[in-house]
C-alpha cells in the first residue's frame, strides 16, 4: 500500500480523510495531542507540532510518505486575529516546512487552503483570481499557498469552502453538531445573513483530497458545493430539511458584531474546474448534508437529536 501522511489529524477535515483512506493507504497521522480515536483509525500516529522541523524530518525519514495531505492550521478566525504572529508561524511557516520536506523526499503534497483568501467583494471566484485577504487567518493562508507552490510547484492547493458535516473521527472545527443541539433544544441559533458561501460537505472534501493525493493535478482547485447562499439561508435550509422549526434561525449582520475579525462578504467559489478534474462529484447543500449525516450514522448510529420542544 502507498503511504500517506496526514497533518492536523485531530481535526474535522482530517477525520474524513483518515476514514476514507482506511484499507487504501498506509497512514501516518500527525497530531498535536494524542487521541485514541485517531490512533485507532490511522496505521501509525506521531505527536508533534508542525512547526517542529526536526521532528517532521524524522517522520519523513522513517515513514517515507508517497503523499502528504496537509490540513493542520490555526483556523479560528477570531483567535488568529488576536495572535497574528503565532498564526503566521503555524499556517505559513509550518506549511513551508511541510512543502520543503515534500520536495526533498519527492512526495506528492495536497495543501488545504480556504475560500477566505478572497476579499468577498465579488463572489464566485475561480482558480485564476488573485487572493486579497482581509484578516490575519486569510493572510497566513494566502502566504502559505504562495510558499507551498514556490517550494513545490507541482503541489495541489485545494481551496475549501465552508465545510459542512459531523466530525467522523476526532472533533475539530464543525458547526453542524452545535446547530443540531440548539435546534433540538428549541434554542435560537444566530447565523450571518451577510456572508455568502458555497458550503461543501466533509465527506466530499475528504474524497476529493484523497483523489488529489493520487493524481498529478498541480496548482489551485476550488472544492465547493453547488449551492450558493448566505450562512443564514444555509441554516434555514438545514433546519427545514431535517424537520426542525426554521423560525429558530435568526439572521445577524456579522459585520456589526463587536470584537470579531473582519469576514469577507461573498467568498462563494466556482467549482467548474473541480467538476472536470475530479471524479468525486461536487454536491448541492442537501445532497452534501445527507451524505455527511448518512456517513456519520454508519459510524455512530443516529446523529440527529430528537426535537424536544
Ligand X SMILES: NC(=O)c1ccc[n+]([C@@H]2O[C@H](COP(=O)([O-])OP(=O)(O)OC[C@H]3O[C@@H](n4cnc5c(N)ncnc54)[C@H](OP(=O)(O)O)[C@@H]3O)[C@@H](O)[C@H]2O)c1
Under the rule (CB under 6 A), what is the footprint of ligand X?
A: 8, 10-14, 32-33, 49-51, 71-75, 90, 94, 112, 114-115, 141, 160, 162-163, 172-173
Q: Which residue is nearest to ligand X (CB)?
A: 11
- Spatial distance between the Cα atoms of 107 and 140, rounded to a whole number of angstroms: 24
Is the CB of 118 or the CB of 217 nearer to ligand X?
118
Q: How far is CA 294 from CA 94, 157, 202, 298, 300, in A?
A: 34, 28, 12, 6, 10
Is the CB of 14 or the CB of 109 nearer to ligand X?
14
Is the CB of 75 or the CB of 278 nearer to ligand X?
75
Give the E-state strand segments of the chain in sequence order: 2-7, 25-31, 44-47, 67-70, 108-114, 156-160, 163-164, 189-192, 196-197, 200-201, 219-223, 229-230, 249-252
DSSP-assigned beta bridge partners for residue 26: 3
Is the CB of 112 or the CB of 282 nearer to ligand X?
112
| Min CB(264)–ligand X separation in Å | 12
Largest CA distance in the chain: 58
Neighbours of 153 (CB within 10 A): 11
| Min CB(224)–ligand X separation in Å | 10
Is the CB of 116 or the CB of 193 nearer to ligand X?
116
| Min CB(185)–ligand X separation in Å | 24
- What sign has the CA pseudo-torsion 260, 171, 286, 186? negative
| Min CB(8)–ligand X separation in Å | 3
| Min CB(76)–ligand X separation in Å | 7
Is the CB of 262 or the CB of 307 nearer to ligand X?
262
| Min CB(11)–ligand X separation in Å | 2
- With beta carbons less than 8 A apart as the criterion, state whether 35 and 73 touch: no
Amino acid at each position: 500500500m502507498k503511504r500517506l501522511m496526514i497533518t492536523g489529524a485531530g481535526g474535522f477535515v482530517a477525520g474524513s480523510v483518515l476514514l476514507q483512506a482506511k484499507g487504501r493507504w498506509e497512514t501516518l497521522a500527525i497530531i498535536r495531542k494524542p487521541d485514541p480515536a485517531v490512533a485507532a483509525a490511522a496505521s501509525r500516529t506521531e505527536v508533534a507540532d508542525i512547526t517542529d522541523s526536526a521532528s517532521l524530518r524524522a517522520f519523513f525519514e522513517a515513514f517515507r510518505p508517497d503523499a502528504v495531505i496537509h490540513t493542520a492550521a490555526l483556523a479560528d478566525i477570531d483567535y488568529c486575529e488576536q495572535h497574528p504572529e503565532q498564526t503566521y508561524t503555524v499556517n505559513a511557516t509550518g506549511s513551508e516546512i511541510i512543502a520543503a520536506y515534500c520536495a526533498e523526499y519527492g512526495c506528492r503534497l495536497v495543501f488545504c487552503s480556504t475560500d477566505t483568501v478572497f476579499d468577498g467583494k465579488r463572489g464566485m471566484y475561480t482558480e485564476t483570481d488573485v487572493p486579497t485577504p482581509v484578516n490575519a487567518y486569510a493572510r497566513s493562508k494566502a502566504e502559505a499557498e504562495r510558499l507551498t507552490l514556490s517550494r513545490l510547484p507541482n503541489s495541489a492547493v485545494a481551496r475549501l469552502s465552508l465545510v459542512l458535516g459531523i466530525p467522523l473521527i476526532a472533533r475539530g472545527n464543525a458547526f453542524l453538531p452545535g446547530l443540531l443541539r440548539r435546534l433540538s433544544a428549541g434554542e435560537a441559533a444566530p447565523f450571518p445573513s451577510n456572508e455568502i458561501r458555497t458550503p461543501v460537505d466533509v465527506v466530499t472534501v475528504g474524497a476529493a483530497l484523497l483523489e488529489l493525493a493520487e493524481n498529478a493535478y498541480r496548482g489551485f482547485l476550488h472544492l465547493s458545493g453547488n449551492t450558493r447562499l448566505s450562512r443564514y439561508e444555509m441554516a434555514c435550509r438545514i433546519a427545514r430539511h431535517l424537520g426542525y422549526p426554521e423560525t429558530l434561525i435568526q439572521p445577524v449582520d456579522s459585520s456589526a458584531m463587536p470584537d470579531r475579525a473582519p469576514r469577507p462578504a461573498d467568498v462563494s467559489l466556482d467549482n467548474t474546474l473541480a467538476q472536470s478534474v475530479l471524479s468525486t462529484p461536487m454536491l448541492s447543500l442537501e445532497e452534501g448534508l445527507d451524505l455527511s449525516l448518512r456517513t456519520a450514522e454508519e459510524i455512530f448510529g443516529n446523529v440527529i437529536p430528537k426535537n424536544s420542544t
